[in-house]
Amino acid sequence: MSRNRGDEDLIIRRPELQNNKARWGYRFLSIIFWLLFLLTIGAWLLSLWWAGKQLSNVAKFLGDLSELKFLAIMMLILGGGLIVWAVYNWIRFRGQDRRQHRIPINPEGLAQYFDSTAIDLFLMHGSQRIVLHLDDEGRITQYDISLPGDDPVIIRAELGKGSVVSS
């Protein structure tokens, strides 16, 4: 089975085929993101240490830790409830794909949706730039397109009528 260029994997399996600029660029980005990750871990550890310090100060004023124990028990009950709910949904929907695939649309169906012709859509699809003119209800009434080429041609046409207003 032949594969065209658009079907190739995004993962480069032979890094020696990369040029030096790309190789060093990926290395640089990897180092930056690893440093950001380590900085984030450090920030989490610092915040946990700070929270512990603050809670120990609060505990001195509370006298007993019954309220903190209550909060810890509530956190365990709510966290356990979320875990039970997640396991229930996993068991319930495991192996079932309930999503519906979209039906591919043909040019005639798309043209009918926009009250247009397939020729209008073909012209719009092949153009470099499109300017759509809408009526008060938001429907397309006219369009301006510039066709590719050395000397670009700008065409204004009324949608669905196939008539060129100006060129």
Question: Two tokens at 106?
Answer: 């043909």
Quickly list H helices, the chain: 20-62, 66-93, 107-113, 118-125
| Domain boundaries defined on the chain | 16-82, 108-166
CA nearest 162: which of 127, 124, 128?
124
pLDDT digits (tens, 9 = 90+) for 43-84: 999 998 888 888 777 666 666 666 778 888 999 999 999 999
The pLDDT-based confidence of 142 (bands split at 50, 70, 90) is confident
Give burial (CB, 10 Å; 0-12/13-18/19+) of 143. Answer: buried
- Rounded Cα gap, residues 44 and 38, in angstroms: 10
What's this model's pTM, rounded to 2 decimal places? 0.36
Exposed, middle or buried, 144 (CB in 10 Å: 0-12/13-18/19+)?
A: middle
pLDDT of residue 94: 86
